[in-house]
Structure 1
Amino acid sequence: MTFHDLHHADAPLVLPNAWDVGSAIAFLDAGFEAIGTTSFGVSAASGRPDGDGASKDATVALVHALQGLPAYVTADVEDGFADDPDTVAEFVAGLGVAGINIEDSADGALTPADRHAAKVAAIKSRTPEVFINARIDNYWFGEEATIAAVLERAATYVEAGADGIFIPFVPGAVSPEDLAMITSDVPVPVNVLVDPTLTLTELGRLGIRRISTGSLPYRAAVDAAVAVATAVRDNGHPALATPYHVAQEQLAKYAPLLSS
C-alpha cells in the first residue's frame, strides 16, 4: 500500500504530526503508518513563533533524519518557503518525502489562488510521485470564509495537480452538512484537522479521507510537562508516564534506522 493508497482505505487516514525525532518514533511505535511534521511544533521546539519560514531548516533536518524509518513521512512546508514556483519545487524534491502540505497563505493572510496553483503545478512536474496536500486557509484566517470560495480554490489546485485538499476549519465554523457538501464536490481526498466534536467514524461518513492532529500533540505534551512540574512544586503527585527503561528501549530500537 502506497501513501496515496492510505487515503482510500476503509477508514480515514489519521496523520499524527511530529515536532522532533523522539515524537516521530513514539508515533511509529504506536502503529502509525504515516507521520507528518507540524510547522508550529517544529518552530516552537526551537523557541520561535510559527510562520515566516521559521520551521524551514528544522523541518529539513527532521525529515532527513526520519528517512530510514519504516513509515511514510509528509512534511509541512508552510507556503513552500519561497515565492518562485521552481524554487519551491526544487526544495520539495530535495526533501525525499512521500508527501507535503503546502498552504495558500503567507504572513497571516491568503495569497492569490493562481500563485499557489503555480507552486502546486511546479512541484507535481518536478516530483510527480509526491503527494501534494494543498491547504486552503480561507476559514483559518477568516478571509472569504464561504463554502463557495473554498470550493473555487479547491478546483483550481486540483486542476494544477494537487492530490489532496486540506481545509483547516476553526471548530464550529462549519456544519457536518457543509463538510459533506465539500467532500462531494472535491474529487480528491479531503483532509481536516481533528475536530473535538466529531469522531473518526463520523468524519469518515461525511467523506473526509484524512485527519491531521496538527500541533495538538505538541501543545498537549507541553501542557503535560508543565502539569508534572507544577504537581511536584505544589506538593502533589505527578502523573505517571512511560517508564524510563521502556522509553529508552523504544529509542534504541529505531536509532540504527535514523539518518545521520
Structure 2
Amino acid sequence: MTAEPAVTSFAALHHRPGEPLLLPNAWDHASAAALAARGFSAIGTTSLAVAAAVGLPDGEAATREHTLRLALTLGSEPYLLSVDVEDGFSDDPGEVVELTRQLWAVGVVGINLEDGLGATEPHAAKIAAVKNAVPGLFVNARTDTYWLGDGDEADTLRRLAAYRQAGADGVFVPGLTDPGRIETLVRHIDAPLNLLYSPAGPTVPQLAGLGVRRVSLGSLLYRRALGAALDAVADIAAGRAPGGTTPSYDEVRALERSASASRSANSSA
C-alpha cells in the first residue's frame, strides 16, 4: 500500500455517515498486530502507554524518541497507523514539522496534535506548518477544554474553528460525553468529530447517531491489560485459575512471524 492511497483510505474512514471509525490504540507491536488480526484496518497509538512503558511522564514532551521508535516499528505494517504526538513535543512549529516528516517517511498516515489547553494561536500555527510541509498527513487537532479545562462550550467551538481554519482534517475533544453538547459541536464544526470512548458515556452506536465520525479508545485497552495482569496474579496467589482470554505462547509467536513476513515483503517491493 503506497502512502497516498493509504492516506486517502484513512481519511475516507472519517466520512461514513452513521459508521464512525472505531480506532483502538496500541502500545507495542504485539498489541497492534493482535488488533489488526481482529480486523481493525486502522490503529492508533496511545501516549500514556508509550510513557508508562519507559517510566516517563505523559503529556510533558518527554517521549519524542520513544514515539518515533514505536512508529518505526509499526509504520510498515499492513494497517493504517495514526500516532499520538502529544503537542508535537515542542513549542517550535519547525521542530513539530521535522517530527511529522519523520513519521510520514516511515508510513504514518495520521497524527493527533493536542493543545494541552495552551493558547489557541500557537497550536493553530503548528497545525498550519504541518499541513504546509506534509499536506497528505491527516491531522486530528485535539483541544483539551473538557480534558483539562472546565468544558466551556464557546471556547471549545472557538478553538476547533481556529484549528480547522489552520488546516486540521479532523477535531478531537476528549472528555466530552454529554449528548447535547456533542450534537452542538457536530452542527457547528465542518470537520469529522472524534471523541474518546468512555464506559460511563454514550455507546458507539449512540455516538454514531449523534454524528460522531471517529471514536478512539485512548489508553483504555492498555489500562485494561494492566488490570487483567493484576487480576490474574491475584487469582494465582489465591489458588484460583485466572479467568479471561489468554493467548497461547504460539499465538504470540505467530504475531512475531507475521511482522517478519510483512517487513520482508515491504523491503522487496
Task: Say which SS state the counterpart of residue 50 (structure 1) adopts.
Answer: coil
Deviations 1:58-91 (A, max 9, x none): 1101111112211111110101011111221121
Kindly state the Cα deviation for residue 152 of structure 1 after the two structures are TM-superposed.
0.5
CA RMSD of aligned residues (A): 1.6
The equivalent residue for 2:4 is: none
The equivalent residue for 2:55 is: 47
Given the two structures, how large is their TM-score scaled by the length of structure 2? 0.90
Work out whether residues 42 and 81 of structure 2, in 8 Å CA contact, stay in contact via their aligned partners in 1. Answer: yes
Work out whether residues 30 and 252 of structure 2, in 8 Å CA contact, stay in contact via their aligned partners in 1. Answer: no
| 1:155 has 2:161 as partner | yes
**Quick one: distance in 2 between partners of 1:94 and 1:247?**
29
The equivalent residue for 1:257 is: 262
**Quick one: distance in 1 between partners of 2:61 and 2:165?**
27
Task: Say which SS state the counterpart of residue 86 (structure 1) adopts.
Answer: helix
**Quick one: distance in 1 between partners of 2:34 and 2:24?**
10
Kindly state the Cα deviation for residue 229 of structure 1 after the two structures are TM-superposed.
1.2
1:78 to 67, 86, 111: 86
More deviation, 151-160/225-234:
225-234
**Quick one: distance in 1 between partners of 2:112 and 2:230?**
30
**Quick one: distance in 2 between partners of 1:115 and 1:94?**
22
Kindly state the Cα deviation for residue 244 of structure 1 after the two structures are TM-superposed.
2.0
How many aligned residue pairs are there? Answer: 252
Superposed counterparts of 1:166-185, under 5 Å:
166-169=172-175, 174-185=177-188
**Quick one: distance in 2 between partners of 1:175 and 1:214?**
18
AA in 1 matched with 2:123: H
Kindly state the Cα deviation for residue 104 of structure 1 after the two structures are TM-superposed.
0.4
1:244 to 239, 244, 249: 249
Work out whether residues 22 and 214 of structure 2, in 8 Å CA contact, stay in contact via their aligned partners in 1. Answer: yes
Kindly state the Cα deviation for residue 206 of structure 1 after the two structures are TM-superposed.
0.5
Kindly state the Cα deviation for residue 207 of structure 1 after the two structures are TM-superposed.
0.8
More deviation, 48-57/120-129:
48-57
Kindly state the Cα deviation for residue 54 of structure 1 after the two structures are TM-superposed.
2.4
| 1:58 has 2:82 as partner | no
Given the two structures, how large is their TM-score scaled by the length of structure 1? 0.93
Structure 1 gap segments, 5+ residues each? none
AA in 2 matched with 1:69: E
Task: Say which SS state the counterpart of residue 100 (structure 1) adopts.
Answer: strand
Task: Say which SS state the counterpart of residue 81 (structure 2) adopts.
Answer: strand
| 1:89 has 2:92 as partner | no
4+ aligned runs moved over 6 Å, structure 1: none
Work out whether residues 30 and 255 of structure 2, in 8 Å CA contact, stay in contact via their aligned partners in 1. Answer: no
Task: Say which SS state the counterpart of residue 9 (structure 2) adopts.
Answer: coil
Task: Say which SS state the counterpart of residue 201 (structure 1) adopts.
Answer: helix
| 1:211 has 2:215 as partner | yes
Kindly state the Cα deviation for residue 134 of structure 1 after the two structures are TM-superposed.
0.4
Percent of aligned pairs with the same residue?
42
Deviations 1:38-63 (A, max 9, x none): 00011111122312122211110111
The equivalent residue for 1:202 is: 206
**Quick one: distance in 2 between partners of 1:7 and 1:176?**
20
2:237 to 228, 233, 237: 233
1:191 to 180, 189, 194: 194
**Quick one: distance in 1 between partners of 2:162 and 2:76?**
35
AA in 1 matched with 2:61: G
Structure 2 gap segments, 5+ residues each? 1-7
| 1:69 has 2:77 as partner | yes
Task: Say which SS state the counterpart of residue 191 (structure 1) adopts.
Answer: strand
**Quick one: distance in 2 between partners of 1:177 and 1:160?**
27
The equivalent residue for 2:225 is: 221
Task: Say which SS state the counterpart of residue 140 (structure 1) adopts.
Answer: coil
Work out whether residues 131 and 137 of structure 2, in 8 Å CA contact, stay in contact via their aligned partners in 1. Answer: yes
AA in 2 matched with 1:101: N
